[in-house]
């Protein structure tokens, strides 16, 4: 929102004492964020009012004219290219020695005729967008006067971030901002100049069908509007505020809205005379004054005239009742609507207007009367013969009153961290138009209605008012009190970080972050269907993921052209059976011919992750998984008899879409379960004083049989002297698999005798033979 | 014969000096003392010699054999005490190791570690969240614009993707009660179109302190201390009014610009300040909703944008890189 300091000055007593250029840093930390402060009217000097007294065409040009202008002191010859030149026109003359945009004006010939200055357009002076002709000032303008003395061209325009005003309906107009500035600087706010005509006319017919949505409606019929020319000062203000001047009536509705924050509407009184406020019928059509036909719902609040819509309440008027340059009597609307209705209608119609964005902030219903009277006062200034066609007709079913809040002093001191003096509190609140009664241990505060609609409702809200005007820069930094009780620490984050660091530092993985939903295009590309919870209102990228590894595959795809082999991982959320699950997925890629090594590395990573970080040795077991994985290579990772995760390899027909020469192996870990697994203690074993012996045996197995089958068998061979068993080598020769295992045997009590070793050996050979296996005996 | 033996001794002594390692030692041994060695050939020919020569050369050969063995052993043992002969190029470049943490992880770790030092516990919360925790429990009324379709990802199961980490405030209050000091690093979602500075998926860190006498001054201390540690430089902070339904008073916290130090530059739009973190005193309604007595307790909460912080810290100019999986960007964060 753009704020003109010239307008602010009109509302503050002793405003000349305020530095309106530098005050905005303070405003930012007291009230709301200022985005930009800009000085206007600084790009020129030496411009005076001057009247054209002669106007002849240029002999060598059919566009240029040769003028004689009167600057109040003498007549000057000016060559001018504007089409609107005419005798009698009073315009803005930049004289020799004056500057515009850093260029000094000097006498110079234009096609052979000397020109002693230049007549300026509104655009050149920065006060309008109009560059089609020179500026035209009213006929009663004095000549030879510095234009900056008669027009408010020099101004400071401040842009305030609208987002930082969402909770402050009172700040959506200059008067509210002036109140803040007055409070910040300790000055007082001047009362508004309002029309105070006593009326004895007929009331307008106004009916509110939904008082819960329309809190108040004031309608006034105004007649004999003869002058619809907007005064120059107002035109300049509207331009600086980012609006276009149309005609006096439209401009005044905008002016009052910008000044007070109260949206106003003027309708042509020939069309509107009987007003009804109520909800639309679903499916009805209405053409707004921007010329668009809109379809309504039964939640849209409408203004009707004799059963016919003429405005969308609080949003925009209709084309039929639009004010034109021929309008000389109007019905003026100043109304108050329920905030969320206006917001919803504006959203559903896709039509956010200056009015709707104010109404949706919860405006004070009491502002409507000020708006009406202010409008009439300003209209009368330009139309002394203005007449009322009706009373100011006020329909106000439920009067919105001031609010009273008790503020406990102890609470205030707690928030402030010190005991603020009563007089400071009283002064701050008074400056903001709150009334204060100081009691022994509390304040009784009356909140003005313009603050009570939403923003100030409880004691904490008052603390904010006091705290911010006291100045946040005036608070000390105070450390928290020490608390030495043990925290209930949730270890998830720490475990995640530990795993991430382990994978990065020990195994050189790259961490990635991917989206919570599967990318539709990618799923189509690899021809995988995922059915899961969906985002509403989106047609693609709308299915939440249930397998983090598909996200990893997509990440691999993104990188596959630039990186030879990919090693990535993520710890992230997946949605499984409608619930949040934390998942870890680790992906390794490599040449297809190297699958064995990559697979075994994945297994080793999974194993050592648990071995290193939990001191647990997982068990791997062949299993099954989703059909886009090669289920011959799917293995469960089992910890404490529960499935912690899986090793998976993407099917060839999936991975061929990514890269025909690469295979993609993933480790999927249920991280919720991982975090619950306790870290096992290290069990220390005393080292035996007696020698240990290694016994190697080579056993024959079938070529196609997995080691796991063999292992299951020899797991059953037990002996008290076995310290450990390990796989030494597997050698395949002519369809025969030779498995060499090593037993380390020994005793803590004594050196084993050769009989004991012999006995062990015999028992082992017998065990092997009993299990239909054969052993190679040397 | 004598000359041949002299020559042999000479050659053996020369070569013995060159022994530098075990394999050379074994080689020279087999060359001069092995089955096919010169000396051995002579020894096997001894049976063809006359008896004088036999008497002369027999012991001599044995003596030589012993001498050679001693000589070789002596030089081998000497070689063991010498430095290795350099046969490789010690100036080759180091091979890069490519593991990397995500930049947001690095920043999240830094911030949580700092907060842990101040006694904060680190909590976790769900990304798929209920309307109750995301809005209602946080005093965000049904009429608030944030609850409209356009800002929030609503799900077809009636839940939503959390729009901030703040729901964990209410979860923590209900689970642990007061007093509490906690923080929550986590991912949030907003229905936004992507561009260089907007993402629909981003990380925040929620912080919350509740105790009997928490004041505005405590926020200043905690935030200032935390940011100084994060940026490893002196940082000024300022509070200014900001509106969030779950705090009152609510603030926007700005920090002095880390690029220009507060003098004014394009990054801070010449203000010297960078908007960093919404925060405020916890709203009494939020306390009451989660069963904490707002007459006894006060507290503050903040929502630090971790994604933004990571971008500031590493001067990443496009937010989209962070969720891109593109290792050209991400593999640069290879700090150990």
3-state secondary structure A335-400: EEECHHHHHHHHHHHCCCCHHHHHHCCCCCCCHHHHHHHHHHHHHHHHCCCCEECCCCEEECCCCC
Q: Are residues B162 and B119 in the same domain?
A: yes
Mean pLDDT for the stretch of residues A200-224: 96
Q: Are residues B20 and B133 in the same domain?
A: no
Round to whole Å and give the CA distance between B155 and B172: 24
Kindly determine whether residue A535 and residue B153, on different chains, have CB atoms separated by under 8 Å.
yes
Domain presence at residue B239: yes
Round to whole Å and give the CA distance between B187 and A580: 13
CATH 3.40.190.10 fits A693-776, yes or no: no
Q: What is the pLDDT of residue B105?
A: 95
Residue A118: pLDDT band (50, 70, 90) is very high
Round to whole Å and give the CA distance between A438 and A29: 27
Q: Are residues B195 and B318 in the same domain?
A: yes
Report helix, strand or coil for A571.
Answer: strand
Q: Pick out chain B residues at pLDDT < 70.
A: 146, 148-150, 335-336
Residue range A492-676, CATH number: 3.30.930.10
Nearest CB to A414: which of B145, B215, B331? B215
Mean pLDDT for the stretch of residues A50-71: 93
Q: What is the pLDDT of residue A778?
A: 62
Kindly determine whether residue A464 and residue B322, on different chains, have CB atoms separated by under 8 Å.
no
Round to whole Å and give the CA distance between B13 and B23: 17
Residue showing tokens 């109404």: A359
Residue ranges per domain, chain A?
Answer: 2-40+156-185, 44-153, 205-395, 403-469, 492-676, 693-776
Kindly determine whether residue B150 and residue A468, on different chains, have CB atoms separated by under 8 Å.
no
The distance of B112 to chain A (nearest Cα, Å) reads: 9
Q: Which one of B211, B216, B227, B234 would you mutate to disrupt binding with A, by most A Cβ within 10 Å of its Cβ?
A: B216
Work out the percent of chain A whose per-residue pLDDT is above 70.
100
DSSP 8-state class, residue A476:
P
A307 has a pLDDT exceeding 90? no
- List CB contacts (< 8 A) between B100 and chain A: 504, 510-511
Q: Which residues contact B76 (CB under 8 A, 6 or more apart)?
A: B19, B22, B24, B25
Cβ of residue B102 closer than 8 Å to a chain A Cβ: yes
Cβ of residue B252 closer than 8 Å to a chain A Cβ: yes
Domain presence at residue B335: no
**Residues forming a β-bridge with A265:** A333
Cβ of residue B272 closer than 8 Å to a chain A Cβ: no
Domain presence at residue B212: yes
A252 has a pLDDT exceeding 90? yes
A519-552 exposure pattern, b = at least 16 Cβ within 10 A, e = fewer:
beebbeebebebebbbbeeeeebbbbbbbbbbbb
Kindly determine whether residue A533 and residue B155, on different chains, have CB atoms separated by under 8 Å.
yes
CB A550 within 8 A of CB A516: no
**Helical axes A422-431 vs A174-185, angle rounded to 10°:** 160
Q: Are residues B228 and B294 in the same domain?
A: yes
Nearest CB to A511: which of B102, B161, B323? B102
Domain presence at residue B85: no
Whichever domain contains B297, its CATH number is 3.30.930.10
Q: Which residues contact B194 (CB under 8 A, 6 or more apart)?
A: B200, B320
Of the listed ranges A37-51, A363-377, A382-396, B72-86, the one predicted with least confidence: B72-86
Work out the percent of chain B whose per-residue pLDDT is above 90.
49
Q: Which residues contact B19 (CB under 8 A, 6 or more apart)?
A: B25, B28, B72, B75, B76, B79
Domain presence at residue B206: yes
Could you tell me which of B263, B134, B281, B195 has the C-alpha nearest to residue A458? B281
The distance of A474 to chain B (nearest Cα, Å) reads: 10
Q: Are residues B53 and B121 in the same domain?
A: no
Round to whole Å and give the CA distance between A633 and A663: 12
A536 has a pLDDT exceeding 70? yes
- Final residue before a domain boundary, out of B31, B47, B80: B80
Round to whole Å and give the CA distance between A345 and A300: 6
CB A580 within 8 A of CB A532: no
Q: Are residues B133 and B256 in the same domain?
A: yes
This prediction's pTM: 0.85
Round to whole Å and give the CA distance between B113 and B225: 13
Nearest CB to B224: which of A477, A566, A573? A477
Round to whole Å and give the CA distance between A535 and B152: 10
CB B102 within 8 A of CB B142: no
Q: What is the pLDDT of residue A526?
A: 94
> What architecture is domain A205-395?
3-Layer(bba) Sandwich (3.50)
Q: Are residues B40 and B177 in the same domain?
A: no
274-333 of B, contacting A, C-beta below 8 A: 281, 283-284, 295, 298, 322-328, 330-331
Residue A318: pLDDT band (50, 70, 90) is confident
Domain presence at residue B273: yes
Tell me the H-state helices in B45-190.
51-80, 103-117, 131-134, 167-176
Kindly determine whether residue A460 and residue B221, on different chains, have CB atoms separated by under 8 Å.
no
A764 has a pLDDT exceeding 80? yes
* A233 class by beta-carbon count within 10 Å (0-12 exposed, 13-18 middle, 19+ buried): middle
Nearest CB to A468: which of B104, B124, B241? B241
Mean pLDDT for the stretch of residues A371-378: 97
Round to whole Å and give the CA distance between A361 and A176: 14
* A289 class by beta-carbon count within 10 Å (0-12 exposed, 13-18 middle, 19+ buried): middle
Nearest CB to B283: which of A166, A460, A568? A460
- What stretches of A58-127 adopt beta strand conformation (E)? 65-70, 75-80, 90-100, 103-104, 108-110, 113-115, 118-119
Q: What is the pLDDT of residue B150?
A: 65
Q: Which one of A180, A489, A511 would you mutate to disrupt binding with B, by most B Cβ within 10 Å of its Cβ?
A: A511
The distance of A267 to chain B (nearest Cα, Å) reads: 30
Q: What is the pLDDT of residue B146?
A: 67
Q: Are residues B169 and B291 in the same domain?
A: yes
Residue range A403-469, CATH number: 3.30.56.10
**Helical axes B22-33 vs B2-17, angle rounded to 10°:** 170
A638-649 exposure pattern, b = at least 16 Cβ within 10 A, e = fewer:
ebeeeebbbbbb
- How far apart are the two ends of chain A, measured CA to CA in Å? 96
> What architecture is domain A44-153?
Beta Barrel (2.40)
Full residue range of the structural domain in which residue B50 is found: 2-80
Cβ of residue B249 closer than 8 Å to a chain A Cβ: yes
Cα separations in angstroms, A192 against A23, A262, A263, A446, A636: 23, 14, 17, 22, 79
- List CB contacts (< 8 A) between A417 and chain B: 215-218
Q: Give pLDDT tens digits for A458-507.
A: 999 999 999 999 999 999 999 998 777 777 778 889 999 999 999 999 99
Q: Are residues B146 and B241 in the same domain?
A: yes
CB A608 within 8 A of CB A623: no
Mean pLDDT for the stretch of residues A83-100: 94
Q: What is the pLDDT of residue A517?
A: 96
Q: Give pLDDT tens digits for A507-530.
A: 999 999 999 999 999 999 999 999
Of residues A712 and A635, more confidence is placed in A635
Return mean pLDDT, chain A: 93
Cα separations in angstroms, B232 against A266, B117, B221, B278: 60, 16, 16, 22
Q: Are residues B227 and B156 in the same domain?
A: yes
- How far apart are the two ends of chain B, measured CA to CA in Å? 71
CB B39 within 8 A of CB B31: no
How many domains does chain B divide into? 2
Of the listed ranges A125-139, A266-280, A665-679, B86-100, the one predicted with least confidence: B86-100
Q: Are residues B56 and B117 in the same domain?
A: no
Q: What is the pLDDT of residue B305?
A: 93
Q: Give pLDDT tens digits for B234-277.
A: 888 899 999 999 999 999 999 888 778 788 888 777 888 888 89
A692 has a pLDDT exceeding 60? yes
Q: Which one of A490, A554, A573 would you mutate to disrupt binding with B, by most B Cβ within 10 Å of its Cβ?
A: A490
């Amino acid at each position: 929102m753009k704020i003109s300091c010239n307008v602010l000055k009109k509302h503050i007593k002793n405003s000349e004492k305020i530095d309106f250029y530098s005050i905005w840093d303070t405003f930012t930390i007291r009230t709301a964020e200022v985005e930009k402060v800009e000085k206007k009217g600084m790009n020129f000097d030496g411009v005076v009012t001057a009247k054209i007294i002669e106007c002849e065409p240029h002999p060598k040009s059919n566009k240029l004219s040769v003028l004689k202008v009167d600057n109040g002191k003498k007549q000057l010859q000016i060559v001018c290219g504007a089409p609107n030149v005419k005798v009698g026109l009073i315009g803005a003359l930049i004289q020799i020695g004056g500057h515009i945009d850093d260029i000094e004006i000097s006498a110079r010939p234009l096609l052979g005729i000397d020109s002693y200055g230049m007549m300026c357009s509104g655009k050149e002076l920065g006060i309008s967008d109009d560059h089609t002709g020179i500026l035209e000032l009213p006929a009663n303008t004095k000549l030879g006067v510095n234009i900056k003395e008669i027009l408010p061209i020099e101004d400071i325009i401040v842009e305030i971030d609208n987002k930082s005003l969402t909770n402050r309906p009172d700040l959506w107009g200059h008067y509210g901002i002036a109140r803040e500035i007055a409070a910040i600087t300790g000055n007082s706010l001047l009362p508004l100049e309002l029309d105070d005509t006593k009326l004895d006319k007929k009331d307008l017919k106004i009916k509110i069908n939904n008082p819960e949505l329309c809190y108040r409606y004031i309608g006034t019929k105004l007649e004999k509007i003869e002058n619809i020319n907007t005064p120059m000062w107002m035109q300049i203000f509207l331009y600086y505020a980012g609006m276009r001047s149309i005609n006096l009536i439209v401009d005044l509705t905008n002016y009052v809205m910008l000044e007070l924050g109260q949206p106003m509407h003027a309708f042509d009184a020939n069309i509107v005379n009987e007003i009804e406020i109520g909800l639309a019928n679903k499916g009805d059509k209405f053409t707004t004054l921007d010329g668009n036909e809109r379809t309504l719902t039964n939640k849209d609040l409408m203004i009707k005239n004799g059963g016919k819509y003429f405005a969308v309440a609080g949003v925009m008027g209709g084309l039929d009742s639009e004010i034109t340059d021929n309008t000389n009597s109007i019905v003026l609307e100043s109304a108050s609507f329920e905030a969320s209705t206006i917001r919803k209608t504006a959203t559903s119609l896709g039509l956010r207007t200056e009015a709707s964005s104010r109404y949706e902030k919860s405006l004070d219903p009491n502002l409507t009367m000020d708006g009406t009277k202010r409008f009439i006062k300003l209209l009368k200034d330009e139309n002394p013969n203005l007449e009322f066609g009706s009373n100011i007709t006020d329909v106000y079913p439920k009067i919105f009153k001031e609010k009273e809040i008790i503020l406990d002093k102890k609470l205030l001191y707690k928030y402030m961290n010190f005991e603020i003096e009563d007089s400071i509190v009283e002064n701050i609140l008074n400056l903001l138009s709150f009334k204060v009664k100081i009691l022994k241990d509390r304040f009784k505060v009356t909140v003005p209605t313009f603050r009570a609609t939403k923003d100030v409702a409880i004691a904490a809200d008052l603390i904010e008012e006091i705290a911010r005007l006291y100045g946040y820069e005036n608070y000390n930094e105070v450390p928290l009190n020490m608390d030495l009780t043990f925290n209930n620490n949730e270890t998830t984050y720490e475990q995640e970080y530990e795993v991430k660091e382990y994978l990065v530092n020990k195994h050189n993985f790259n961490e990635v972050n991917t989206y919570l939903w599967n990318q539709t295009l990618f799923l189509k590309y690899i021809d995988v269907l995922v059915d899961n919870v969906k985002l509403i209102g989106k047609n693609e990228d709308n299915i939440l993921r249930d397998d983090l590894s598909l996200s990893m595959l997509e990440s691999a795809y993104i990188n596959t052209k630039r990186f030879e082999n990919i090693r990535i991982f993520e710890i992230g959320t997946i949605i499984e059976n409608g619930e949040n699950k934390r998942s870890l997925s680790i992906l390794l890629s490599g040449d297809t011919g190297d699958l064995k090594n990559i697979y075994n590395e994945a297994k080793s990573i999974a194993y050592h992750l648990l071995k290193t970080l939990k001191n647990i040795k997982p068990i791997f077991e062949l299993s099954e998984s989703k059909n886009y994985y090669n289920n011959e290579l799917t293995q469960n990772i089992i910890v404490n008899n529960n499935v912690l995760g899986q090793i998976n390899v993407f099917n060839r027909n999936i991975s061929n879409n990514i890269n025909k020469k690469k295979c993609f192996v993933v480790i999927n870990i249920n991280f919720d379960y991982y975090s619950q697994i306790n870290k096992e203690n290290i069990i220390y074993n005393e080292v035996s004083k007696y020698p240990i012996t290694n016994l190697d045996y080579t056993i024959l197995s079938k070529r196609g049989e997995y080691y796991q089958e063999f292992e299951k068998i020899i797991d059953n061979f037990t002996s008290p002297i076995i310290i450990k068993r390990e796989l030494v080598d597997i050698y395949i020769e002519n369809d025969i698999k030779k498995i060499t295992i090593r037993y380390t045997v020994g005793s803590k009590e004594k050196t084993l005798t050769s009989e004991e070793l012999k006995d062990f050996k015999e028992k082992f050979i017998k065990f092997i033979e009993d299990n239909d296996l054969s052993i190679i005996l040397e | 014969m004598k000359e041949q033996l002299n020559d042999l001794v000479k050659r053996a002594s020369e070569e013995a000096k060159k022994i530098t390692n075990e394999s050379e030692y074994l080689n020279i041994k087999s060359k001069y003392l092995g089955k096919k060695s010169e000396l051995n050939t002579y020894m096997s020919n001894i049976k063809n010699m006359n008896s004088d020569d036999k008497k002369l050369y027999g012991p001599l050969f044995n003596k030589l054999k012993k001498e050679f063995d001693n000589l070789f052993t002596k030089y081998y043992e000497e070689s063991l005490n010498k430095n290795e002969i350099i046969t490789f190029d010690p100036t080759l470049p180091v091979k890069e190791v490519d593991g990397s943490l995500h930049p947001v992880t690095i920043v999240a770790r830094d911030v949580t570690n700092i907060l842990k030092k101040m006694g904060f516990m680190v909590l976790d919360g769900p990304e798929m969240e209920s309307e109750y925790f995301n809005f209602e429990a946080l005093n965000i009324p049904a009429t608030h614009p944030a609850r409209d379709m356009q800002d929030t990802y609503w799900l077809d199961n009636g839940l939503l993707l959390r729009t901030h980490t703040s729901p964990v405030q209410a979860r923590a209050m209900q689970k642990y009660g007061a007093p509490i000091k906690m923080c929550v690093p986590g991912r949030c979602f907003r229905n936004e179109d992507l561009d260089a500075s907007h993402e629909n998926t981003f990380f925040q860190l929620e912080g919350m302190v509740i105790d009997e006498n928490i004041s505005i001054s405590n926020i200043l201390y905690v935030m200032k201390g935390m940011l100084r540690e994060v940026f490893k430089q002196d940082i000024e902070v300022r509070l200014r009014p900001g509106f969030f339904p779950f705090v009152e008073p609510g603030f926007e916290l700005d920090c002095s610009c880390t690029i220009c130090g507060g003098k004014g530059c394009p990054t801070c739009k010449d203000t010297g300040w960078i908007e960093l973190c919404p925060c405020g005193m916890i709203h009494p309604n939020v306390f009451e909703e989660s069963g904490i007595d707002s007459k006894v307790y006060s507290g503050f909460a903040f929502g630090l944008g971790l994604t933004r912080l990571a971008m500031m810290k590493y001067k990443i100019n496009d937010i989209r890189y962070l969720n891109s999986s593109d290792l050209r960007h991400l593999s640069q964060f290879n700090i150990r």
